[in-house]
Each structure stands twice: as C-alpha cells, then as structure tokens.
Structure 1
C-alpha cells in the first residue's frame, strides 16, 4: 500500500516504536505516582521523561504545565467545558475541525454562549486578519483557533494572533492536532493559554495519546475527577499540577511509544526538510496537471499578486477535486490502486464551506508523511494521469 493519509494518522511510525511499547507491556510497570516499588518507579520515569521531552519541543520551562491524556479531542473538551461559563462570548475561525465546533455548539446550547466565527480567504483558508482584529475589539472571553487546517494544510499565523489576543486580554486556545510536530509551537513564549495536541499525527506517536499545555491552572476545571495517587487522604480533587488534570491510570505503553517518537523527532530535522521540499515539488507537478484542481492553494497556480511574505504557508496536506468526472469516481479509482487517501469532508464541514467544496461532498485529501518517497508520489501522479485519460476516453 502507498500510504498518503498522514493527516489522519501518521504511518509508518519511527523505527523502534513498537519495541518501546512492547517493553512497557512486558516489563512490570505499576501506576505512576502510586507505588514505591520498582515497577511503579519505572512508570514514573517514563512520564517524567515524556514531560521533559515534550517541554523541550515546545520550548517550555515548566514541564508540569503539560497534561497528558487520550489526545486533542479530550484536551479540547477539557478546556472548553472547564473554562467557559454561562453567557460568555467565544470567537473562533471558519476553518475549524469538528473537535472544536461540536463542543462549542453543545456548550452554546447548554450555557447560552455567544459564538462568532471570523472568516478566512476562500482561496487559501488563511484567516482574514482585518476581520479577526475587528472581532477582537469586542473582547471575547475566549479565542479558539486551529494551528493548521486538516483540509488544505494552511498554517495560521499563531504568533501574531497570540500577540493580538494578549493585547486585548483575551485567553487563547489552540487546536494543534494538525500542527504538533510539524510547525514551531511555543505556548510559553507566545502567550498561548491552552495548546491541545495529538500524539498520533505529526508527533508520530501511537493512537490514544496527546494532551494540552496550560498557562493558568486556576482558571480551568478538570473534565475528569478521580484517583491521582496524590493527597489520598482527601476526597477533594487535588489542585496541584499536573495531578489536577490527570486522574485515573495513564496509558503508559502508549506514552512510552510517544516518548520514543519525540526523541526521534528531535533528531529528524533533515527528514522534515526533505519531506517539505519533496511535497513542494509534488504540488508544483500537480498544479500543471489538467483535469485536477488543487483546492486552497493559490500559490500552486501563482501568487495572485501577493509577495512571498504575504503568501500562506502549508503543511504536507493537499486537497484535490477532479475537473472531469466526480469525486466518487476519482476516489474509487485511487482505492482500486491500493493507495490510502481520505475522501469527503474530513470532519471539517466549516472549512469546506469556506473553501467552497462543501456542496461537492468535500475533497480527495492526500497527506504525504516524513517517510513518503519520491517513487510513491510519482506512482500516485501516474495514477491521476491514468484516471484523467480513462475519464476523457469514456
């Protein structure tokens, strides 16, 4: 199989990840923070090293401000449910994933929130910064934005948005499910209040891992309460970090795998650069292919009069639509060639409405990974050309 669905879940994983997880299962490992025996201490060590390594990647001085759980979705639900109060105002973008929109719409109904969305450019998905600044003048109680779109890969200007939010005194929550491990993210330096990340995408870890960073723990109520191994004499949830937000037995095998992946990422700068250049070349070839349209990448068809500094940047996430034939036909043809891509709305209907692809049923999304080869991309290109030729012939 040619795997081009890394925006959903990265594969293959770094060499040695399965062995790292296997060791965490085969060796006696207890519950971290709950035992003085060697097995419990070993689990403590994995969590400690993971927290320190993740803090290094995010350039954080205080690793206790890192919370680990099942991933970005749980993190976003924890932040949105634990922070927002009845009647408050929330601002978000038109490019958000359902992991943001579904909790927000639920809380809008339950807590009578005022929810507004600022627009993004329909050609690129890049946020309309003039509209954003105008909305920020209303001083919402929380700003929630994606780090990068899972539909077309456009990267949001988080540092600038965090600066503007800070000037207005507006707390910022970032959905970094798609950006974690792929782009620089510095929550402490930029003043991001909550950064929610997934372990299984750009961080190259196993599914069911991830977490969030938190700037001021006193402003957030935990979503899950229970045993932490600390202050066991008390029946009230502890307020110490990170215990306040880490009730229950953690997924130590999964977190051991994530630790292995993070160490790989730290040493893989050259791999990232090669993958970036490979994808750039591939997008340039796609833009010259008649019969296929690249969605949300105006730079692939020229800069549109913008300078390079004004042109949006993108992850290795590419959305396509056929100019001839249908999305269903194109998807079926790609699937018949044993190639893994993602077709449809990618759990982001708001983004597709912005990019004018909602009525088409979404797009065909391909997302090359760190380990994707030129040969695999060439084979995908050949398959696209074959689809176009056969569709025209018929």
Structure 2
C-alpha cells in the first residue's frame, strides 16, 4: 500500500523502534517504580533514559518536568483543564486547533466560565500574530496555539506569538502534534510554557505515547489521581515531579520505542527530514494544481507548509474518493474533517470536508506520481 496518511500516524516505523519495543517486552517489561527487583529497575532505567532524551530534544533543562502521557490529547487536557482559570478569564486560540484543544477549552467555558476567542487564518491561510494581538484583552490569561495545522499544513509563527505572549505576561500553551520531529522546537529559546507532543507522528514512535513539557512554575491541578509507585501514605497527589502528573503504570515498551524514534530522528536530522517532506509536498501541489476540477486549500504554493495537502474534487464526496483510492488503487489517505471542524469552517469546507494527503520520511516521488495518475483517472471516470 502507498501510505499517505502520515499526519494521522507515521508508517512504517523504523526497525530500531520495533526492536526497542520488542526488546523491552521480551526481556524485562516490569512495572517501573513499583519494585526494587532487577526487572523493575531495568524498566525504570528505560523510562529515565527516554525522559532525558525528550528533554534534550526539546531544549528542556529540568528533566523531571517531562511528563509522559498516552498521547497529546491527554497532555493538552492536563494543561488546559489543570490550568488555574477563574471565572471570566479569557483565552486566545485559533481556528486551526484540533478538537484536542477546542473541546477542553469549551469544557472550561461551560464549567469554569472562561471566554474564548478563536483567531481565523488570513487570506493566505496563515495565522497572524497581529490578529492574535488584537484578540488579547485585560482578562486574557493564556494563548493556546497549534504549531502546525493538521488540515492545511499551515505553520504558525510560534516565535512571534511567544514574544507577544511574554510582552503581555501571558502563558503560552503549544500543541506540537504535527511538528515534533519535523520542525526544531526549543521550549526555552522559544519561551513556551507548556508544550504537548505525541510520539506516534513525526517522532516515529508507537501509538500510546506522548507527553507534556512543563516549562513554567504554574501549578496545574492533576488531571488524574492515583498510584505513583511511592508516597503511598499521602491521600493527595504528591507535589514532586513527574510523579504529580503520572498516576498509573506507564507504557514502558512504548516509551522505549519513542526513545528509539527520537534517536532515529536525531540521526536523520530535522533539516533533512523537513527538506525531504517539503520536496514531496511542493511536487504534489504542482501536480495536483494542473488537474481540472481540483480545489486545493491552505497556504499558497509558494508558502512553505507541513507535508499536508487538503483538496476536493468538484461535486464528489471526499469519502468516496478516499474509498476508491483505498479499494481500487491501494492508496491510503484521510477524508472528512480531520477532528478540526473550526478549520473547515475557516477554509469553507464545513459541509463537504476534504481529502487529505500527508507525507513522511519514507514516501517517494514515484508514489506521488502513482497517486496523481489515480486522481486523474478518478476525475475522468466521475466527471466526464
């Protein structure tokens, strides 16, 4: 199969990732921090190594502030639902936010009485820090932004937004689900307070891994309460990190795989990975733009974007195209609204959704040529 759904989850995984998972499960996959025997110590050492690797990858100085979760959604819920909001507090977000941001924010609006402004993209399909600045008022407490849209591939000007946040004494929460492992991120240099990441996309790790980087002194209310392996005598969550936010048994084998994925990304180099993905994206954009009745969304072709291209074929349901590509051409894409309804409202596809193709380090120009031929055949078969 030609796999063009990399924005949902990268595939195939590097051999080293699979080997790391298998090695952990086969040799010592015990419960980290829950015993003093050899297997528990070995598993704990894997977690510690991965935590250091994540901290180094994102420029975190305090390793204990790397909190592991099952995915970025849990990490974002922790950052948003755990934030010390008071009634009437205001949040600035964007129309490009995934439901992993939007739904927790709307929950806090209903339960805590916060207000939210969603900043829409400009005519070039980009989020402008100037528009975010306009949305800030005297009750604004934080800015929540995605670093890159999972629908259009538009890249948010994170450094400028960070500078804006700091000038206004605002907390910055960043969803790096689409950019971790693709674009360089240094939480200290970029002054990011909370950064959520997932392991199974650009970091090339397995599903069931991700985390939250806490680069702030703000105390969050724990999202989950439970066992932490020690401090059992306390009737409340311990205050020490990372234990305060890591209740329950961690996905040790998955975290071992995540660690191997980060090592693989480091070896390949972020510059090389992005250059490869951009070359594929630019090539596909040019080919698609030459097909009659195809409408492409997002930033203009001359604007660098993530390896994500959303498009529609005039009058044809996006799900139908995805099914034909899957069943007749053995090509995997994503159709619909990609868990980002506000994005589709912003780009005018709220009723139809789009077909989204997304590329990764393992994809090739030859695969894109095969895909383009398939789209031309589908277009000719359905519209002529």
TM-score (structure 1 length as normaliser): 0.92
Match of 1:307 in 2: none
Between the aligned partners of 2:140 and 2:340, the Cα distance in structure 1 is 23
Between the aligned partners of 1:29 and 1:345, the Cα distance in structure 2 is 38
Question: Number of residue pairs matched?
Answer: 380
- Is 1:333 matched up with 2:334? no
1:184-220 CA distances to partner (integer Å, 9 max, x unpaired)? 1111221111101111111111111000100235421
TM-score (structure 2 length as normaliser): 0.94
* Runs of 4+ residues deviating >6 angstroms: none
- Conserved in 2, the CA contact under 8 Å of 1:121 and 1:354? no
Which of 331, 343, 346 aligns to 2:335? It is: 343
Match of 2:2 in 1: 2
Gap runs ≥5 in structure 2: none
Which of 354, 365, 374 aligns to 1:374? It is: 365
Match of 1:296 in 2: 298
1:231-242 matched pairs, under 5 angstroms: 231-242=231-242
Between the aligned partners of 2:119 and 2:274, the Cα distance in structure 1 is 32
- Conserved in 2, the CA contact under 8 Å of 1:292 and 1:324? no
Match of 1:176 in 2: 176
Match of 1:364 in 2: 355
Between the aligned partners of 1:34 and 1:320, the Cα distance in structure 2 is 50
Compute the displacement of 1:357 (Å).
1.1
Compute the displacement of 1:179 (Å).
1.4
1:235-290 CA distances to partner (integer Å, 9 max, x unpaired)? 33111111111111101011111111111010112344323223222222222222
Compute the displacement of 1:137 (Å).
4.6
Match of 2:276 in 1: 274
Compute the displacement of 1:226 (Å).
1.8
Match of 2:142 in 1: 142
1:34-113 matched pairs, under 5 angstroms: 34-87=34-87, 88-113=89-114
Further displaced range: 135-144 or 167-176 = 135-144
Compute the displacement of 1:127 (Å).
1.1
Between the aligned partners of 1:122 and 1:327, the Cα distance in structure 2 is 24
* Residue aligned with 1:190, SS: coil
1:248-267 matched pairs, under 5 angstroms: 248-267=248-267
- Conserved in 2, the CA contact under 8 Å of 1:139 and 1:169? no
Between the aligned partners of 1:364 and 1:152, the Cα distance in structure 2 is 11
Between the aligned partners of 2:145 and 2:347, the Cα distance in structure 1 is 17
Gap runs ≥5 in structure 1: 304-310
- Conserved in 2, the CA contact under 8 Å of 1:21 and 1:256? yes
Compute the displacement of 1:294 (Å).
1.2
Further displaced range: 109-118 or 70-79 = 109-118
Compute the displacement of 1:332 (Å).
3.2
- Conserved in 2, the CA contact under 8 Å of 1:139 and 1:168? no
- Conserved in 1, the CA contact under 8 Å of 2:206 and 2:258? yes
- Conserved in 2, the CA contact under 8 Å of 1:4 and 1:340? yes
Match of 1:189 in 2: 189
* Residue aligned with 2:49, SS: helix
1:296-317 CA distances to partner (integer Å, 9 max, x unpaired)? 132x2xx5xxxxxxx4x31101
Between the aligned partners of 1:244 and 1:217, the Cα distance in structure 2 is 14
Match of 1:308 in 2: none
Match of 1:166 in 2: 166
